[in-house]
């Protein structure tokens, strides 16, 4: 059985047989403000402080200072871990994203011998994919196969799907145990906006923040976890200045 990598998020690891199977890529999906970034920050912080893993946090959305501030809000001192040399924060701004970005990530992971990785968020990549995919890279055969030759919006959609597929394949090849956040559409038959990542990822966590009986409440559902007999309940998720806590109702 694969070694389990503990997230250290209170109440969570016991729901997935002790942790994420080593080397797996898990999507953390949710609408805005559901706790995706905070969940992944705890994963990374615990990786370094409790489990002695070399870790890297890549943000495609926020400045490094805003990430450090956000972590402080739930009691995590990211700067201290950075100084120890065991944690690397990396910001790849949207306007410098491109097919080369995965090579930059690969180089850093190998150089620093990173085993625990976060990418926040896949949605930023997806939005930018059509902009930076050179038209010469789109084979006519691919387009014909996609039955959308004369339809630019669908062509954009095709480019996004193909890019996300390639990006996740490359990430998996790094061998890290990786969390990737992704924005969920408010409604629809697919979990993610790009509609392909949930099939390709080894696991999917679904975070929600919904109104129930006039009150808003947060929850976490393990939607998929390959190779694991996972719990199937919807769990209340608590976020406080002390961090995240996954509750079990039974
Ligand atoms: N100390 C705290 N106590 C209680 N709730 C908090 C605390 N810090 C943050 N939160 C809640 O967590 C939410 C932010 O979570 P987070 O940034 O992880 O969401 P997200 O899913 O990454 O959102 P986005 O899609 O916008 O990036 C805030 O909107 C706030 O409601
Ligand atoms: Mg976020």
Peptide bond into 121 cis (omega under 30): yes
- Residue of higher predicted confidence among 163 and 78: 78
How far apart are alpha carbons 90 and 62 in whole angstroms? 10
Placement of tokens 């956040």 in the chain: 181
Span 4-129+160-246: which CATH code?
Answer: 3.40.50.300
Residue 50 reports pLDDT greater than 90: yes
CA contacts within 13 A on the Cβ side of 250: 5
* SS3 of residue 111 by DSSP: helix
> What does the pLDDT read at residue 148?
42
What are residue 91's DSSP bridge partners? 59
What pLDDT digit, counting tens, does each position of 86-141 carry? 999 999 987 788 778 889 999 999 999 999 999 999 988 887 766 656 555 655 55
> What does the pLDDT read at residue 138?
56
Residue 52 reports pLDDT greater than 70: yes
> What does the pLDDT read at residue 131?
64
Give this prediction's pTM. Answer: 0.92
* Phi, psi angles (nearest 5°) of residue 91: -115, 120
Q: Using 50, 70 and 90 to split pLDDT, how confident is the model at 145? A: low
Q: Using 50, 70 and 90 to split pLDDT, how confident is the model at 187? A: confident
Whether 114 contacts 56, CB under 8 Å? yes
38 CB near ligand 1 (under 6 Å): yes
Can you tell me which atom of ligand 1 is nearest the CA of 183?
25
Lowest mean pLDDT, pick from 24-33, 97-106, 148-157: 148-157
The pair of three-digit structure tokens given for residue 2, joined into one six-digit string: 């694969």
35 CB near ligand 1 (under 6 Å): yes
Mean pLDDT along residues 229-235: 92
> What does the pLDDT read at residue 149?
43
93 CB near ligand 1 (under 6 Å): no
243 CB near ligand 1 (under 6 Å): no
Residue 30: which H helix or E strand, with range?
Answer: strand 25-30
- How far does the centroid of ligand 1 lie from the alpha carbon of residue 240, in Å? 10
> What does the pLDDT read at residue 100?
83
32 CB near ligand 1 (under 6 Å): yes
Can you tell me which atom of ligand 1 is nearest the CA of 62?
27
Whether 134 contacts 74, CB under 8 Å? no
Mutation test of ligand 1: which of 9, 27, 29, 33 has the most ligand atoms closer than 8 Å to its C-beta? 33
């Amino acid at each position: 059985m694969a070694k389990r990598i503990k997230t250290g998020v209170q109440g969570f690891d016991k729901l997935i047989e002790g942790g994420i199977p080593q080397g797996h890529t898990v999507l953390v999906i949710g609408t805005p403000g559901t706790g995706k970034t905070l969940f992944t920050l705890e994963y990374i912080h615990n990786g370094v402080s409790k489990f002695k893993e070399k870790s890297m946090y890549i943000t495609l959305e926020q400045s490094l200072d805003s990430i450090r501030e956000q972590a402080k809000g739930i009691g995590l001192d990211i700067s201290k871990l950075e100084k120890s040399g065991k944690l690397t924060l990396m910001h790849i701004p949207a306007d410098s994203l491109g097919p080369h970005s995965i090579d930059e990530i690969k180089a850093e992971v190998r150089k620093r011998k990173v085993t625990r990785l976060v990418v926040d968020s896949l949605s930023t990549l997806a939005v930018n994919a059509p902009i930076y995919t050179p038209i010469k890279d789109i084979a006519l055969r691919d387009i014909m196969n996609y039955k959308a030759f004369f339809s630019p919006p669908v062509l954009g959609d095709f480019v996004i799907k193909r890019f996300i597929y390639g990006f996740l394949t490359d990430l998996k090849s790094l061998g890290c145990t990786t969390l990737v956040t992704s924005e969920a559409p408010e409604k629809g038959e697919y979990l993610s906006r790009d509609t392909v990542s949930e099939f390709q990822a080894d696991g999917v966590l679904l975070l929600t923040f919904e109104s129930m009986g006039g009150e808003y409440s947060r929850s976490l559902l393990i939607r998929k976890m390959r190779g694991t007999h996972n719990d199937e309940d919807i769990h209340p998720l608590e976020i406080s200045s002390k961090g995240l806590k996954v509750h079990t109702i039974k």
